Amino acid sequence: MKRLAYLILIAAMAWSGFWLAGYWGVTTAFPAWFDARQNDGWVAEYDELSVAGYPSRLDSTFTNITLADPRTGVAWEAPFFQLFALTYRPNHLIAVWPDTQTLATPTEKLDITSGDMRASLVLDAGTDLTLSRTNLAITDLGIASSADWQLSAKSVTVAMHRDEENPTRYRIAFNADDLTPPAGFDLPDGVDLPRSFSSFKADLTADFDQPWDRTAIETARPQPVTLDLTLAEIVWGDLQLNAAGSVTVDSSGYPTGEVTIRAVNWREILAVARQSAKVSPSVVDTLEQALGFVAQLSGNGRELDIPLTFRGGATRLGPLPIGPAPRLVLR
């Protein structure tokens, strides 16, 4: 009996030492990372770092955290941020955000609210902390922009899983339930739409120029090299947009390739875009003329299947040029 008690005591002491080693690692590595960002010219601050969870967890909580990257002009502030990990699986983290936070870019400031926002992150072992997979779940999302727009969603899920055979390739899936489009415009006459989209989702595979690891925060975001869109879908009442296709992206962020667009009730879609005043009238006019021309050729005035082609920094809708190509750059 005494021997068993000694064995239990030794095991408890060994496990306590194991947990304390993890505690020391957390309380040393995080402050060192913040110091390194400050040396790079960042604003990288927090009021307090607390670690709890003995004996089986390492739960880290930052209070009043601020991160701002001077190279991109992106800044994030939150009253707290938490990272949870099991002692014996330190590379599998649960990240938890507060119900209010702020994200600022050079062009606008976003006030973000949520009922719950958390993500599961599985990282490769090693100091690079390369992302293997992550799943983000948000409930009761609300975003208010200083650029005078708002949106909300009952729930949002984002999954990003790395290809086992290609360390820079990820499959990305996005889905939003009851997503309410930005408010601030009246619907055109004759267009009756529900309050929110009945479907808003995307599924694609992306190749990046480097892996998603710690340098994605410390130095520069990985940039897309190829995008293979399996499906993107927006359904809003009787209005429907589907897209599928693939593009390559050059070093300046300009895509080359083709995406096929299927639009149901496309004239009403353009009428909503025009009424919103969020899209330039000249762009809407160009689209309306181009789509009207294609509709005449197809003989279907309600539904259109048409290629959207990107080449040489320009965009063509079917045979007609409609403007410059978008730049696909992650700040």
What does the pLDDT look like over 256-283, one tens digit per residue?
999 999 988 888 888 887 776 667 777 7
Residue 227 belongs to a domain: yes
Q: Structural domain of residue 111, as residue ranges?
A: 107-324
Are 146 and 263 in the same domain? Answer: yes
Are 159 and 211 in the same domain? Answer: yes
Residue 62 belongs to a domain: yes
Residue 102 belongs to a domain: no
Beta bridge partners of 48: 63
Q: Is the dihedral of CA 289, 292, 297, 298 positive or negative?
A: positive
Contact 22, 87 (CB under 8 A): yes
Domain count, the chain: 2
Are 234 and 296 in the same domain? Answer: yes
Are 24 and 162 in the same domain? Answer: no
Tens digits of residue pLDDT in 21-52: 666 778 898 999 999 999 999 999 999 999 99
Are 249 and 292 in the same domain? Answer: yes
Three-state SS at 182 = coil
pTM of the full structure = 0.88
Are 43 and 171 in the same domain? Answer: no
Q: Which of 90, 124, 144 is the last residue of a domain?
A: 90
Report pLDDT for 16.
Answer: 47
Are 131 and 68 in the same domain? Answer: no
- Cα-based distances in Å from 53 to 11, 79, 86, 229: 18, 21, 9, 42
Residue 155 belongs to a domain: yes
Please give the structure tokens belonging to residue 106.
């050079």
The angle, 0 to 180 degrees and rounded to 10, between the axes of the packed helices 281-298 and 266-276 is: 170
Residue 330 belongs to a domain: no
Distance separating alpha carbons of residues 84 and 175, to the nearest angstrom: 25
Q: Which of 90, 123, 156 is the last residue of a domain?
A: 90
92-101 mean pLDDT: 96
Are 34 and 157 in the same domain? Answer: no
- Cα-based distances in Å from 231 to 98, 206, 227, 228: 32, 13, 12, 9
- Would you say residue 301 has pLDDT above 80? no
Are 64 and 170 in the same domain? Answer: no
Are 163 and 252 in the same domain? Answer: yes
Number of neighbours of residue 204 by Cβ within 10 angstroms: 20
Residue 100 belongs to a domain: no
Amino acid (one-letter) located at 277: A
Q: Which of 90, 125, 157 is the last residue of a domain?
A: 90
